[in-house]
Structure 1
Amino acid sequence: MQYDLIIKNGLVILESGEIFSDVAIKNGKIAAIGPNLVQADKIIDAEGLIVSPGMVDIHVHISEPGGVRHEWEGYVTGTKACAKGGVTTFVEMPLNQLPATTSGETLRTKYAAGEGKLYVDVASYGGLVPYNLTNNGIAEQVEEGVAAFKCFMATCGDPNLDGDFANVNDYALWEGMRQIAKTGKVLAIHAENAAITDILGQQAKARGESTLSQYVATRPAFTEVEAIRRAIFFAKQTGCPIHICHVACPEGVEEVIKARQEGVNVTCETCIHYLYFTTDQLDAIGPIAKCSPPIRDQQAQEGLWKYLFAGHIITAVSDHSPCTYDLKDKANAFDAWGGISGVQNNVDILFDEAVQKRGMSLKQFADIIAKNPAERYNLPAKGSIKVGKDADIIFIKPHSNYVLKEQDLEYRNKFSPYVGRQIGAQVVQTLLRGETIYQINSGVDSTPRGTFIRR
């Protein structure tokens, strides 16, 4: 067979483990894997490089259509950052767009906003909010192809903005789970006890507290754990598959482990920033590192690493949630927007921290960034280097130190807590369905080749 492309001489991460092998691509799909493949229109020499499946990041926020948030992050800049960082597919959260994605109509509006602007592939979350439970909103979003659903147990959204997202109360969470269970989709949940964290935050601010570490203290781990327990209990009652987003404490993971042992269909993720930063670093960094749940202490971080290695955390995501700089540039951390810009540095930081510094196997690394999330969210063409799958492949240069600079970022707003950090590996090339969308020497390709994935 005459292939379109053959990758040679690289260390290829397969589902069974890493091997030195050739990988052949035809019509955007992986067509053959094995030694001494020949006859291709193009050859990529991957000597000295790790050949990995592209990352599937299941937690990314894009603010288009944006309304008053139109300057936060667009499809062009957000998906270019993904291409540069080795994220070939992401699942887009149903907020911070305006209107939020909560119905068939708003999902179609989102698809239209991204038409012709995608540099990587994008699947979509549907929203679960109190106001779409009686108007067929869940079913409409399934018909339009969402991969999963998302809700907030923590306070979110602006009630003064028409069409903004809104957090669920206990009834809406239970009833939403009942409806989503009938669809077979997974419900992803931001689990924090809003009734406690909101008042603790108000009290701290009234006392004159203003630092980021003081903000962290108003969202103690038990407020995360209690919400996870409640979500799991409702999942038991309804049979709804659930996924706990951005778990920041090991105690939260332990609730998931216990529930899985009892037969509950529940998984969880953590974030790269929880594995990288600790609370004692935050006041020096400032509000660009503010997020919720917050970045916790060294002991919590070590617990998350333990459970990631043990396989109890299925993936580590970016929770890329950007905004304009003025919303971060606050003297009082309580007034700053809570969200971290990080999708461009998922792969290189995790490879450095997990594989190079802590000895994670390449197979487990690829499972965490690609195979596990693709399987959980039923993206069958994605997640691994396997014959018949999309040829979404990234090339990682190990032991290749660089310092991240603002000008390196593809984001619309070029700031991130990772700026100024030395990172010990680099993504040097990214393929989307066999086409090069990024090369380290030439940058992101000018042609947007991504598409919306409708399940």
Structure 2
Amino acid sequence: MVESANPSAPEFDVVFRARRLIGPNGEGSGSVGVRDGRIAAVEALDTPMRGDRTVELAEDEVLLPGMVDSHVHVNDPGRSEWEGFPTATRAAASGGITTIVDMPLNCLPPTIDSGALETKRGVASGNVHVDVGFWGGAVHGNLDELRGLHESGVYGFKCFLLHSGVDEFPPLDPSELEQALRTVAELDALMIVHAEDSTAIEHAPSAHGENYRDFLASRPRGAENTAIAQVLEAARRTGARVHILHLSSSDALPMIASARADGVRVTVETCPHYLSFIAEEVPDGATQFKCCPPVREAGNRELLWRGLAEGTIDCVVSDHSPCTPELKRLDSGDFGVAWGGVSSLQLGLSAVWTHARTRGFGLAEVVSWMSAGPARVAGLRNKGAIAVGADADLCVFAPDSAYVVDADQLHHRNAVTAYHGRALAGVVRSTWLRGTPIAGPEAGGTPTGKLLNRGEA
């Protein structure tokens, strides 16, 4: 990438010239003019365009819209030793992500009322390198708070159907889920659901020790399948919009497709770790791979890729759920007591591209899953595309370069990730937020991200 100054009066603040560019209609070439933080023009590569600065992409670079990650646990305030807004958003920027939506749990207080949302916004203000929106929580006992949270600008509500892992974010029982969905339908809001059935898990073998297969048996596919069926039927009855989080069981894909064909308003995400790893290769005691629902077998992984290809799965997001190294129990390797969550915020684009390219997918598909798709699900109208009127959130990506992940070199607060030592394809050379570099050689260190409200972006 080469930058040059233009002494003529600028027509644009920045002009990007790319021999390869992923736009709304797929891959091509083009010039992109940025004015006042928005994309003001997308023209042919040889179109004369004056800019205060011009960024010429190298032959091995592709201009992508900034990635959107709608499933990030920042854990700030209250558990900032696990992660925090400065570290999480710096990691996001380094991974080509320009917008995240923060989850309402693992922080203290959880985002289950408007006061807690304001507390979180106060902590985040001035400390974010990318744009940040917020999910609210739907928990036992707070259904009267949902309308106020909606009016305060959350992008929707997250609920669990079993213990969330933290006592301050209790699950909804079936009757509460139905009540919450009726409120969500009245607001035309979105309910995002951690769908695992508590009864199925209670009757499964308990997780203990270093053997990954024992842990896998403790979170069976049937627990996901049963819970997803319950959510789909409740959505059918109430007319609410629902989103299935971190799908790991490919068994659920046919019933999701069937429900959608029947008019149920359901969207679905999966995560890079379910598309990258397989249970057969998780070493015993390697608790950095523990997540809930779990990484499953090789055949299951291939069916998830098919679900993406067929459009049943709408998007791929990180579910970045970090903790301190001590809580991962790396010393004992006991899957039964280790915290469940894969730290991957900085690595998602490369991880997905590494596996997508070997299956015949191009960068246009990856962008649809990791930028346009999450933006559409969350309702981020100005994000996720290189298009006139969109925010000038851009990623300069070198798809044919490669690197080996070193956890110590990541910007996450704690140097723990299941990707450590893995070779990944695709290097983020720079990331731009509203036309300003936030990662790469030209980036400054001052956080310039905005806090977003539903309806504003």
- Structure 1-normalised TM-score? 0.94
1:376 maps to what in 2?
377
The Cα of 1:251 is off from its aligned counterpart by 1.1
Structure 2 counterpart of 1:176, from 174, 180, 197: 180
Q: What are the within-5 Å matches in structure 2 for residues 70-85 of structure 1? A: 70-85=80-95
Partner of residue 402, structure 1: 403
Cα distance in 1 for residues equivalent to 2:323 and 2:150: 29
Aligned mates of 2:62, 2:312 — CA distance in 1: 25
Amino acid aligned to 1:112 = G
User: Is 1:56 paired with 2:68?
Assistant: yes
Structure 1 equivalent of residue 434 of structure 2: 433
Partner of 1:310: 310
Q: Is 1:38 aligned to residue 42 of structure 2?
A: no
- Equivalent residue in structure 2 for 1:337, among 336, 339, 351: 339
Return the alpha-carbon distance in structure 2 between the equivalents of residues 360 and 114 of structure 1: 37
Task: Give the 5 Å matches for 1:296-307.
Answer: 296-307=296-307
Tell me which residue corresponds to 1:418.
419
Identity %: 35
CA distance in 1, matches of 2:371, 2:12: 25
How far residue 284 of structure 1 moved from its aligned partner, in angstroms, is 4.7
Offset of 1:183 from its aligned partner?
1.0
RMSD: 1.4
Cα deviation digits, residues 147-191 of structure 1 (max 9, x gap): 1111011211433xxxx2111111111111111111111111000
Preserved CA contact (<8 Å) 1:91 1:124: yes
From 145, 160, 163, the counterpart of 1:137: 145
Q: Distance in 2 between matches of 1:233 and 1:428?
A: 45
Confirm or deny: 8 A CA contact 1:285 1:417 kept in the other structure: no
Q: 1:47 aligns with which of 58, 70, 75?
A: 58
Aligned to 2:160: 152
Task: Report Cα offsets for 1:31-82 as digits up to 9, x if no partner.
Answer: 111132321111111122111111111111011111xx23000000000000
Distance in 1 (CA, whole Å) between partners of 2:12 and 2:170 is 49
Counterpart CA distance in 2 for 1:43 and 1:358 is 35
Q: Where in structure 2 are the equivalents of 1:28-427 lying within 5 Å? A: 28-35=37-44, 36-48=47-59, 49-66=61-78, 69-133=79-143, 136-159=144-167, 164-202=168-206, 205=208, 209-284=209-284, 286-329=286-329, 330-354=332-356, 356-427=357-428
Distance 2:103 2:138 in 1: 11
Residue 22 of structure 1 is matched in structure 2 by 31
Amino acid at match of 1:139: R
CA-CA distance at 1:322 after TM superposition: 0.1
Deviations, residues 357-385 of structure 1 (Å, cap 9, x unaligned): 22213322211111122122211110100
User: 1:221 deviation in Å?
Assistant: 0.8
Query: Contact conserved, 2:20 with 2:30, CA < 8 A, in 1?
Result: yes
Any conservation in 2 of the 1:121–1:452 contact (CA below 8 Å)?
A: yes
- Cα deviation digits, residues 189-237 of structure 1 (max 9, x gap): 00001122134253x54xxx54222101111111100000001111111
The answer (yes or no) to whether the contact 1:153–1:194 under 8 Å persists in 2 is yes
CA distance in 2, matches of 1:70, 1:21: 42
The 1-side partners of 2:210 and 2:175 are apart by 34
Displacement after TM superposition at 1:426 (Å): 0.6
> After TM superposition, where is structure 1 displaced by more than 6 Å over at least 4 residues in a row?
none
Give the counterpart letter for 1:297 in structure 2: E
1:450 corresponding residue in structure 2? 449
> In structure 2, what is the Cα distance between the partners aligned to 1:218 and 1:187?
26
Contact 1:225 1:255 in 2 (8 A): no
Give SS of 1:376's match: helix
In structure 1, distance between residues paired with 2:67 and 2:56: 21
Aligned length, in residue pairs: 440
- Secondary structure of 2:268 counterpart: strand
Amino acid at match of 1:43: T
Q: Contact 2:39–2:386 (CA<8 Å) still a contact in 1? A: yes
Residues 247 and 253 in structure 1, CA contact (< 8 A), matched pair in contact too = no
CA distance in 2, matches of 1:83, 1:374: 16
CA distance in 1 between counterparts of 2:128 and 2:307 reads: 34
Between the aligned partners of 1:102 and 1:139, the Cα distance in structure 2 is 11
Q: Separation in 2 of the partners of 1:285 and 1:317? A: 26
Contact 2:284 2:333 in 1 (8 A): no
Question: Contact 1:246 / 1:269 at 8 angstroms: preserved in 2?
Answer: yes
* Long gaps (5+) in structure 1: none
Return the alpha-carbon distance in structure 2 between the equivalents of residues 176 and 167 of structure 1.
12
1:71-129 residue CA offsets vs partner (Å, 9 max, x unmatched): 00000000000000011111111011111000111111110110110000111111000
1:24 and 1:30 in contact (8 A); partners too: yes
Pick from 2, 5, 11 the counterpart of residue 11 of structure 2: 2
- 1:137 alignment partner AA: E
